[in-house]
Every structure is written in C-alpha cells, then in structure tokens.
Amino acid sequence: MRLELGKINITDIQFAEESKIDNGVLYVNAEELKPLVLEDEKIKDVYFDIARPGESVRITPVKDVIEPRVKVEGKGGVFPGWIAKVDTVGSGKTYALKGMAVVTAGKIVGFQEGIIDMTGLGAEYTPFSKTLNLVMVCEPIEGVKQHDYEPAVRKAGFRVAARIGELARELVPDETVVYETQTFKEGIDKYPDLPRVGYVCMLQSQGLLHDTYVYGVDVKQIIPTIISPTEVMDGAIVSGNCVSACDKNPTYVHQNNPVVEDLFAQHGKTLNFVSMIITNENVYLADKQRSSDMTAKICRMLDLDGVIITQEGFGNPDTDLIMNCKKIEAEGIKTVIVTDEYAGRDGKSQSLADADVAANAVVTGGNANQLVILPKLDKVIGTLDYVNVIAGASDHTLREDGSLEVELQVITGATNETGFGRLSAR
C-alpha cells in the first residue's frame, strides 16, 4: 500500500469567530464545535480551552489525545468505523495537522486517567507538553454509567478532530512523506538480501474500560491479523481504554507509532519491513495461548527474520508479551521486546510480572514507579478532584503547597511502550 502523508505545521491555536487555518495558525470557533460534542445525550456540557507549550497549565484527568487528519484522496476516510465507513484505508493521500492535538478531559471515567503538564518537571516526561493542545472538557449527565460515558467522550473527540482536520483539505502541505509497502512477493524480489522484519503490536483489551478498536471492532473480538501500517495512520486503530496513563497508547500514538516510523525509515535500506501484525492482550490463559500461537504462526508464514514486539499496559499483559516473544523465538525468529518497568520506587523490584530466557533483547521505557514532585501550576484545565485517586497517586498526592507527589504512572505517555517518549535505561 502507498500513502502520501501531507504534514501541515500548526504554530498556534486561537479562538475566533471563524474556524480556519491561516499561515500556520489554527483558528477555532468553539461554539461551532460544541454541538458536535453534545450530539451524544450522555454529555451534559462541554467547554474548550487551549494549552500551549511552556504555559503554567495542568490538564487532568486526560482521557485521549488525537491528531486531526483528513483523507484527501483515496478510499475511505479517517477513523473508519467511527467517523468514516469501514472501507479499508491506508492508501492515497492524507493530511495531518502537526504540532497540535485534540485532548479529551473532564470528570473521571476510570481511575487510570492521567496528567499533562505544559511546563515544569512533569512536562519533561510527557510528549504532549510539546504539542499545542485544544482541550475539550466534558461534563456527563447525572447518573451515567462509566462504560457509557467513556465511548460518548471518545466518539466526541473523534468528531471534533475530524472537523478540525477538514479545515486542511484545500491547503498545500508544508511537507509530504510517502510510506509504501510491497506485497510479500514484491518485497522478496525487490530486497532479496535484506532481513525480513515484522512488527507485532499488542493492543490493550483486558476487561471493561480496557478497550482498543480496529475499524470500530473491539480488539477483544479479534484474532491476530495482518494490517498495513499505513492503515493505522488513517485512524484504523483508536484508543478506548483507561489503563495507566504512563503506558497507555492514546489514539495520537497509534497515528504516529514510532516503531512504524523507524521501520519505514530503514525499509529498503537495512531491512525489508514486511508487515505489521496486531494481536490482543487477554484475561484467560486459553485466550493468551491461542493468540500467541497464532501470532507466532503468522510470523513463520511470513518467513520473518526478526520481529519487534510492543505491549500496552503492565502486569497481566506481561504474560502475553513473554508468550509472544518465547513462541516467535522458538520459530527461529529473533525478537526485540519493548516494554516499561514497575520496579518499585527504589527500582529494586522485579520489573515485569513474567520473564523467560528468550526475552534477551529488551528496550525499556523507564520505571513507572519512579517518584516525582510536580510543582503547583497557575491553571488547571479540567479538575484536581480526582488527583489523589488516579493510578500512581495516593492520599497524600495533593500537598498543602499545591504541588503533587506522584509516580510517573500518572503522567500521560511518561513510560510509553512504543518508545513514544524520552525515557529508557541501560
């Protein structure tokens, strides 16, 4: 598949009477966007705000982060299964608004929702302190169930991001990057001497509010399958989960997966990027065995020489990660796993809940239990009402001086397991 990704650089966001993009500035009429959010009767109200890099602003509780994109040419549209129909995407031409994001926030859904600080120590740990953020803060109707409120906010975020993306349809991109994969036979013929490398992307699917979607289908319902990485750039995979903020993959991370980016950068040079394989993370042992067996089988059928495996979440998913690694290695295929660690605040605890000698090539995104003190900031977008109960916090998190004593676990993207961040270790 061949996708032209046009990048339109956004240098500022401002509220205005007319929504448009002019000379790199995104002008937003919030009143025009509000009805898009309130289409769902489960959302009582919404307000919009802007958070810029370097400002003394804290956003919490963060639910999702989305990059606005628009399908300009080719089959389908962005966020298939949610905004567009379920036509297969990933080819043609797509425009992306770079340097900005739509951030959904508001009253808490699950206890594993996060914080984005735009300045200070917290900003050093989240990649979303570097983006211009259009924040939509939602208020649910009284008595709505969490599992009903979460999809309402998620879908509203996609509607807003799609509308913002549409503003770029007639613009000329600042840069265009072409991503192209060959059929399996074409790849063998074209790159006969390069190692064949695949990417196994594990998607969070372990229980209520731990959902990821592919073309609108809950990943709990899929078996491992092959997908073109360019499909993901058009929003074929979206986040719908409330796992710990530090290693959650917001929709933005799927759209800009750094493993995919790096493999494409080396495709045809040092390796042949054959395919992306998506698989779920399961609760029951039989389901784990089935998925890992099928994932290893696909890797062998593709005649891969090497595989990169990433996971999402920690604890129970560590078993899925190690099963995938062990079984793929048993097929004679070299693996590298990308994860993060929960090694205790002193760094001395066992980092993963599972292990195997086959997992001897590991990239880590850092220790999520590391304790940090986040300074009080001048403005909060959202609310601090839940800051003591989100994962990685404690009864003593909100201190008298307004600072926060937290683990990295509370910071959105701090230890991301695709490498979409700055932390690692040796």
pLDDT in tens, 164-210: 999 999 999 999 999 999 999 999 999 999 999 999 999 999 877 88
Q: What is the Cα 367 distance to its own chain's centre?
A: 19
3-class secondary-structure state, position 230: helix
Query: For the residues of 274-339, what is the DSSP string, one character each?
Result: EEEEEEE--SSHHHHHHHHHHHHHHHHHTT-SEEEEE--SSSHHHHHHHHHHHHHHHTT-EEEEEE
Domain-located, residue 415: no
Domain-located, residue 200: yes
Domain-located, residue 419: no
Q: 426 falls in which pLDDT band (50, 70, 90)?
A: low
**Residue 70 — φ and ψ, nearest 5°?**
-140, 135
Residue span of the structural domain in which 314 resides? 2-410
**Is residue 89 within 8 Å of residue 75, measured between CB atoms?**
yes
Tokens representing 331 are 């097929």
Cα dihedral 71/74/77/80 (nearest 10): -140
| Cα–Cα distance, 369 to 342 (Å, whole number) | 6
The confidence score (pLDDT) of residue 177 equals 97
Domain-located, residue 423: no
Domain-located, residue 305: yes
- Give how many domains the chain has, as a whole number: 1
| Cα–Cα distance, 366 to 214 (Å, whole number) | 28
Q: pLDDT tens for residues 353-387?
A: 899 999 999 999 999 999 999 999 999 999 999 99
Mean pLDDT of the chain, nearest integer: 95
Q: 93 falls in which pLDDT band (50, 70, 90)?
A: very high
Task: Please say if the pLDDT value at position 112 is more than 90.
Answer: no
For residue 57, what are the contacts with CB-CB under 8 A and spacing of at least 6?
Answer: 51, 117, 118, 119, 377, 378, 379, 380, 381
Element of type H or E holding 58: strand 57-66
Cα dihedral 240/210/49/18 (nearest 10): 0
Task: Please say if the pLDDT value at position 90 is more than 70.
Answer: yes
For residue 211, what are the contacts with CB-CB under 8 A and spacing of at least 6?
Answer: 204, 205, 218, 219, 220, 240, 241
Q: In angstroms, what CA-CA distances link 298 with 23, 165, 219, 302, 358?
A: 47, 35, 18, 6, 19
To the nearest whole percent, how much of the chain has pLDDT over 70? 99
Q: Is 138 a catalytic residue?
A: no
Tokens representing 334 are 């070299």
Average pLDDT for 81-93: 96
Domain-located, residue 97: yes
Global confidence as pTM: 0.96
Domain-located, residue 121: yes
Active-site choice (201, 242, 299, 325): 242
Average pLDDT for 302-327: 96
Domain-located, residue 206: yes
Q: Other C-beta atoms within 10 Å of 176: how many?
A: 12
To the nearest whole percent, how much of the chain has pLDDT over 90? 89
